[in-house]
Amino acid sequence: MTLAVTVVVASQLLADADERETRRVTRDMGFNLRLISAETDLGQFYRDGFSRNEMDSAMLDRLATQLTNNVSFNHLVGSLRREYTINGQDILLIGLSETYVAPGQGKKPMGVVIKKGTIHIGSEVARKQKKKRNDTMYLGERQFTVANDPIETGTPDDITIFARLEDVQSVLRLEGKINEIEAIDCLCLTADQDPLAILRKEIGDILPEVQVVQMRTLADARAKQRQTREKVNQFVLPSVLVASAVWMALLAVLNVRDRRQEIGILRALGKGGGRIAGLFLGKAALLGLMASVFGAAFGTWAVLEFGPSLFPVTKKAIQANPTLAWQMVVATPVFAAFASFIPAMLAVSHDPAETLRED
C-alpha cells in the first residue's frame, strides 16, 4: 500500500513538473507573433525582416495594460530595428524593451537581459570589428561595452547588435519610437484550429493601428508540443490513479481473507460482528494512514532527488506539494477502510463453525 501511495504522489509531482517543463521549453522556442504598423508593406517586411514604419512606443504600454490571464497573448517586447553601418560593415541594429507579462505570473523574461550601457554582438560583427566580451564599441557618438561572448548561430543574429531600446532610440534619434511588438500567443492551437483570427480580433480591438503576423511554423510546433504533452498527462495520470486504487483495494481484500480464521475464533468466543468489523476496518484505516505518510514522504523524496535530472530547465521549480500530501493522508485511510468493508462484512456474517472447519 505504501508503494501505491508512493507511485501516486510521484506521478502527480512528475506530471506537474512535466507541464512546467513543456511550457518553458515551448516558450523558449521564441516569439511567434509580430505586431507591426498597419501601413507596413508586407512584401518589404518579409524581404528586409523588419518594418520601415515606426509606431509610438506608447502603443506597447497600451497593449501591456490589457495583459491578464484571460487574454490570448503574453510576453510583450517592443523593438526598434534598423539597418546600420559601423566602420564600413552593414549590420542590423535592434533595440529591445523590457518584457511585459500578465500580472502575478512572475515569469522570467525571454532571452538575455541587456544592461544599460552594454550591447550584445553577433559573431560576424565580433570577427570584423575584432571585438570580444568587455571590449568597448562606439555606436554613433555613444560608447558601449560588449557584454556577451559572441557565438555563431547561422542566423541573421550573427550580423546583429542588440541593445536596450532607449539606447537604440538615442543612437538613431528616434526617441519614443518602435517598429515592432513581439509576443507569444497563449492559445496553443494548430493552424487548422484558426488561432490567427482570434488573435487578430483580440489585438485589433486594443490596437487597431497594427497588423498581426503569425510565424505559423513556429506557432504550430509550439501548439503541437503542448497538446501532445497534455494528452499524455491526461491519460497517464488517471491510469496510475486507477491502477493504484485497484492495487490498494486488492491488498485490503487479501488482508481480510487472510484473517478469516481469526474472525472465526473471535466469533466463536462470542464477539459481536459489529465489533469485529470495526476492528478490521480500524486496522485497515491505520495501515492506510501509515502507508500514506511513508508513501507521500518517499514519493516526494524520489521526485526531489531525481526530478532535476529529468526536467533540467525548470528544476528549481520542483518542490514538495503539502496539499497533495495531506490529500493522500486523508484519502488513503478512508479508501483502505472502504475497500475492506464488504469483505469484512462477508467474513463476520459467515458461520464461525464453517470458517474454522474450512481452515
Domain locations along the chain: 2-14+225-358, 33-214
Number of other CB atoms surrounding residue 66 within 10 Å: 16
CA torsion angle 342 348 352 354 (round to 10) = -10
**SS3 at position 23:** helix
pLDDT in tens, 190-235: 656 677 788 888 888 899 999 998 876 655 665 666 666 666 666 6
Number of other CB atoms surrounding residue 359 within 10 Å: 10
Number of other CB atoms surrounding residue 164 within 10 Å: 20
pLDDT score for 124: 96
Q: With bands split at pLDDT 50, 70 and 90, how would you rate the model's confidence at 306?
A: confident
Segments of the chain assigned E as strands = 33-37, 55-56, 73-86, 89-96, 118-121, 136-139, 142-146, 160-164, 177-178, 180-185, 210-214
pLDDT score for 314: 63
pLDDT in tens, 14-27: 777 666 665 555 45
Burial track 109-133 (b if 16+ CB lie within 10 A, e otherwise): ebbeebeeebbbbbbbbbeebebee
Q: Is the pTM of this model over 0.85?
A: no
pLDDT in tens, 81-126: 999 999 999 999 999 999 888 765 555 555 678 998 999 999 999 9
Distance, CA of 53 to CA of 181 (rounded, Å): 12
What percent of the chain is modeled with pLDDT above 90? 30
pLDDT score for 186: 67
Contact present, 251 and 307 (Cβ < 8 Å): no
In eight-state DSSP terms, residue 187 is S
Contact present, 293 and 329 (Cβ < 8 Å): yes
pLDDT in tens, 154-171: 989 999 999 999 999 999
Distance, CA of 359 to CA of 357 (rounded, Å): 5
Bigger pLDDT: 82 or 345?
Answer: 82
